[in-house]
Amino acid sequence: MSAAARPPAAPPLTLGGCATLACTWEATAAKPGNVYRGADFEDLTYADFLTSAAVIGPVIDRTAEQGVGATIFAAVAATRAAVATNTNLGMLLLIAPLAAVPCGVPLRESIEQVLAGLNYDDTCAVYRAIPLAQPGGMGEVAEADVHEPPPAGLTLRAAMQMAADRDLIARQYANGFVEVFRTADRIANHAAAGQPLGEAIVLAFMELLAEEPDSLIARKLGPEAAREVSQHAATILDSRRHGEDSFQAMRAEYDFWLRADGHRRNPGTTADVIAAALFVLLRENRLAWPVKFYAPPISPE
């Protein structure tokens, strides 16, 4: 292949740059029920997400020297100093272990070693980070509640395993980030099939939501409400068989419905997995550059 025919190389990105770009892309894609460009919540804006994405980058760059738990706490603290609400706790819980995998090592093969090496200090740091972030819908649980100091010797992976049956992010610590890697594959496949990256992200988001009821919705409204949201996502994806116009119309109605009632049906946990999946794609350089995020505008006839 001649030099002129080679695809452009990826821009040089540090770990922190990958995290910032992943979180920026996640916030920019028009995912139903979430904040995105031109679609703020009353108490949470697109600018809040961009600000948060910027301030966590330097913290993620220091993951190797400070460890996973300390990275999560420092990134949450940086976020809280910059914005007035929780924008990224779930993203950080997923991105920090991925950032701890040494450069040049396949993430899928090495994340297990990182998770197995998490210790009590990591647990203590995360137990400090969660109340600082003030995530929505956090109730009390009978064992290892984050509102109390963690039991002595409890590793972060063991703590997450206790919540794996009710929280998709915690489940990633138990199962080796299965949903994160599956979602990364879906985004990459949609993009390779010709979808602009923004649309590839939305499709992967809808596919994950159709399969996995959102943990944030379940915490706020109960598991039945979360299952209803997932069932609607599956129906909307199926509408693609009837053409793009039908799919886009149903998606717009779904977005409006999710935002109603004070956006309590916001699929925030699903969005966190998207950010981690994008971080995977950036670290592994699996996207074509230059990135086309939006479809080109339709020219008038």
Question: Which pLDDT tens digit goes with each residue over 74-109?
Answer: 999 999 999 989 999 999 999 999 999 999 899 999
- Which residues, other chains included, contact 191 with Cβ-Cβ below 8 Å and sequence gap of 6+? 197, 200, 287, 288
Which option is the CATH number for 12-283: 1.10.4200.10, 3.30.43.10, 3.40.50.620, 1.10.1740.10? Answer: 1.10.4200.10
**Region 16-39 average pLDDT:** 97
Q: In the chain, what are the domain boundaries?
A: 12-283
Which pLDDT score is estimated for 70? 98
pTM confidence score:
0.93
Q: How confident is the model at residue 142 (pLDDT cuts 50, 70, 90)?
A: very low
* Range name among 92-106, 128-142, 194-208, 284-298 with the lowest pLDDT average: 128-142
Does residue 237 register a pLDDT over 80? yes
Which pLDDT score is estimated for 84? 86
Q: How confident is the model at residue 148 (pLDDT cuts 50, 70, 90)?
A: confident
Q: How confident is the model at residue 242 (pLDDT cuts 50, 70, 90)?
A: confident
The rounded percent of the chain whose pLDDT value lies above 90 is 85
Which pLDDT score is estimated for 4? 53
Which pLDDT score is estimated for 141? 46
Does residue 140 register a pLDDT over 90? no
